[in-house]
Structure formats: C-alpha cells, structure tokens
Amino acid sequence: MAVYAIGDLQGCYDEFRTLLDHIGFDPAADRLWLCGDLVNRGPKSLEVLRYVRGLGDAALTVLGNHDLHLLAVWLGKHRHFTSNDTLGPLLRAPDRDDLLDWLRYQPLLHHDAAVGWTLVHAGLPPQWDLTTAQTCAAEVEAALRGPDFHGFIKHMYGNEPRRWDPALAGWDRLRFTVNCLTRLRFCTVDGALSLAHKGAPGRQSGDLLPWFEVPGRRSAAERIVFGHWSTLGLYRGHGVLGLDTGCLWGGALSAARLDHPDVPVTRLPCAGVRTPGED
C-alpha cells in the first residue's frame, strides 16, 4: 500500500486527476492524504469535492482556511462571497448540502503512528506538542460537528489571541486553534502568531521566523506534512514537508509518497488559472 500526500488543490480538478494517473494511484490499494484547501479560486471545486468524497476510506483531507470559508458562506449569515471566490457552481449544486455536511466532518489534524507522519493544513504553534495539538484539533472538530455549528462560525474569525495559554477557553481557544491549523506561517521568536505575513521566508521582519524554525518547538520530534504556503513552495527541513507548490498560480501540484523511506515527491507542472499571489 502506498500513502501519498498532495498539496492544496483549490478547485484544480483536472490537474489533480492527471497527477493521480501519473503516480498510479489505486484507490483499492493505496491511501491519499490531502493537505486541505480543496476548494476556491480554481474552476472546479464542485468536481473536487464530489471526487474526494467518492473515494471513501481511500482518501482523507484536513480542513484548510478556504474550506472553512466555504462552510461559513454556506451558512449565509457570518461570511459572504469575496470578489476572488469561485464557489458559485458548488453552492448551486443539487448535492451541495450533502457535500458540505460531509466537509464539516473532516478533521483539522491527522496523525498516523504507523506511517510516521502528521498532516495539517498550515502549522503548529511552538508551544504545542503532538498531544496538545490533537486535543485542540478535536475540540474544534467537535464544534464544527455539534449543535452550535452556527455559533462557532460566527466567532471563528479574528487574529486574537496571538499567543497560546493552556488556560484559554471558549471561543478564544477555538479561534486560536483554527488560526494555527489553517492560517499559520510565521511566529515571533517567543512564539506569538503573526498572521499578516504571507510571503516567502527572507522577506519578513527580523523578529519573525517560519513556525517550524522557532527554537524549542515542542513538536520538533514529529514529521509534519502541510500545505497553505505557496510562496514557500516545496520545502524539506526541520522535520517538516511543505507541499503547496502553487498549482493555482502556475506552479505545480505535488504528491509525496510518505510510506517510502526517501519520501519521493512527484511534481506536475500547472498552467495556472490565477495571477500569482498568496491568500
């Protein structure tokens, strides 16, 4: 059995299917891990969701910021379309409610001790070990799946609090977790989130570091695969593997074979459907 992780799709369905054919993915024998942001900005979010859902146990995805945005727009009370959204066909589809109800039951973190990897969309704050990350992710998952789903979405947005405290509770605790797992790129050297900086490493101010480079990071012993950061591109180092190689922006769609000792990466060049940028 092969285990493949693939970076952000964002509605790039044709490229996704081409890459699966290229690596010889067999849903009867192999497993597929998706780094989140299945939808938005690209042209075929509906087709992506239908296909991934149809793979059943052969595929799993963590939720990304665009996936959560879709759920918020679906509710229609706390978030609305932006000028860059391409979610209209999905939200008009006859199977919309079934697809989005399936989406809100997807995890924010997946850990497989046998494979030896942990999957998230964005990152982990330096204060979290794996156990803390799993606990906090499960709390958000319970809120997404629970009776106060609307309340969670209403309070999900915002950049505060910026620093982890085990005493955080309520919406502040859930919001901090969402920001780490779906939006994080940079932290200050003392571990506060910096969510406004989206460029490649080397362009940030001097007191910021990529989340995986912060000294003393408590998850440093874990192997973590993530997406979200297209300007970072394919990244190996510090025990992490970054797989958002900017398919949407004319880069590539990348698949890493996690069960192989060398973790080879296959990259499919993409024509791109959007002007290069980062969001």
Is residue 103 pLDDT above 80, yes or no?
Answer: yes
Of 86-90, 106-110, 206-210, least confident by mean pLDDT is: 206-210
The pLDDT assigned to 203 comes to: 77
The pLDDT assigned to 271 comes to: 87
User: Sheet holding 224-226: strands in order across?
Assistant: 109-112, 117-120, 224-226, 240-242, 235-237
Of 72-76, 133-137, 177-181, least confident by mean pLDDT is: 72-76
Residue of higher predicted confidence among 58 and 199? 58
The third-level CATH classification (topology) of the domain covering 3-269 is: Purple Acid Phosphatase; chain A, domain 2 (3.60.21)
Instruction: 215-218: list long-range contacts, CB under 8 Å, 24+ apart.
Output: 215/189, 216/126, 217/124, 217/126, 218/126, 218/127, 218/128, 218/129, 218/132
pTM of the model: 0.96
The pLDDT assigned to 79 comes to: 64
Residues contacting 4, CB < 8 A, separation 6+ = 23, 25, 30, 31, 32, 33, 255, 256, 257, 258
Would you list the domain boundaries of the chain? 3-269
User: pLDDT tens digits, residue range 6-47?
Assistant: 999 999 999 999 999 999 999 999 999 999 999 999 999 999
The pLDDT assigned to 278 comes to: 47
Read off the pLDDT band of 78 (50, 70, 90): low
The pLDDT assigned to 44 comes to: 97
